[in-house]
Amino acid sequence: ISETLSQQLGMNFFDFVNKHRAEEAKRLLSETELSILDIGLEVGFNSRSTFNSAFKKHVGSPPSVYRNSVRLAA
């Protein structure tokens, strides 16, 4: 699977999974009042720091900044 993802999408398996986790986290950050830690755990990360790093890599900002920007836009 990893080889196919790498060839077809240009990303490894972990990046593929984390991209989808980050997308679900974006939804939860904008639609719920769950804490950032709870959202990270809910989407499959084992710690807040791992969640923050992966989220920032795929979204471009930390979860707290993303949540604040979504709230300001509403």
Annotate 36-57 with DSSP letters as a single string: HHHHHHHTT-SSHHHHHHHHHH
- For 48-60, the pLDDT digits (tens) are 999 999 999 999 9
pTM: 0.87
Q: Rounded mean pLDDT of the chain?
A: 93
- Nearest alpha carbon to residue 55 among 13, 27, 33, 31: 27
- For 11-57, the pLDDT digits (tens) are 888 898 999 999 999 999 999 999 999 999 999 999 999 999 999 99
What is residue 37's predicted lDDT score, i.e. its pLDDT? 97
Range 60-72 average pLDDT = 96
**Residues in the chain, overall count:** 74
